[in-house]
Amino acid sequence: MEARKQDTPYGLRMPKGMRAEIRAMAEENGRSMNAEITFHLRVALGERAERKGEQAETHAKN
Span 9-62, pLDDT tens digits: 889 999 999 999 999 999 999 999 999 999 999 999 988 877 777 666 655 665
- pLDDT confidence band for 1 (50 / 70 / 90): very low
Taking the CA atoms of 34, 36, 38 and 41 in sequence, report the sign of the dihedral they define. negative
Torsion of CA 22, 8, 6, 17, to 10 degrees: -10
CB within 8 Å of 22: residues ≥ 6 apart:
14, 33, 36, 37
